[in-house]
Amino acid sequence: MEALKSSLYTVIRSHNSTPEFVDEPMNYDLKGQLVVVFLPHSFSKNRVIYREYGVSGILYYSYAGDAETFTLLTNGRILSGENLEKLAIELRVSSIERLNEERILNQTVSVAYWRKLRVKKGILTERDPYKAIAEQIALELDSFLS
């Protein structure tokens, strides 16, 4: 988790914003940009010559700070690889519809999802596999913010 926070912090600061990390869901909107990284599934395998780590989840970005749509759609929902894509599409569509109904300008909303994003590292490698996963998520966020 620290690798993810560090990578996201670097990207967000590079776009002249100040990140604030929150661990619990929000059921209210924010003023300003909102980034949510929701990774409900993770896995790891230790083999003789390599270690494999992975996650499944969603990256959600709302320029207008629409946290309520995210909370409503993910609250109490059991996510699996099968319904991850469906949730990502619903999240994007619902967020845009809600912002239109509320007549909120700056309706930039972006959603990315990963189903079993995997990293394999040799057992002798000192590099943290989660750092590679965090860098991939940060790259996607950087493309949203550019």
Tens of pLDDT, residues 2-14: 888 899 999 999 9
For 128, residues 6+ apart whose C-beta sits below 8 A from its C-beta are 3
Write out the H or E segment, with its range, that includes residue 121: strand 109-122
pLDDT category of residue 52 using cuts at 50, 70 and 90: confident
pLDDT category of residue 105 using cuts at 50, 70 and 90: confident
Q: What is the DSSP letter of 89?
A: H
Q: Left (φ > 0), alpha (ψ -120 to 50) or beta: where does 139 sit?
A: alpha
Asked if 113 and 83 count as a contact pair (C-beta separation under 8 A), the reply is no
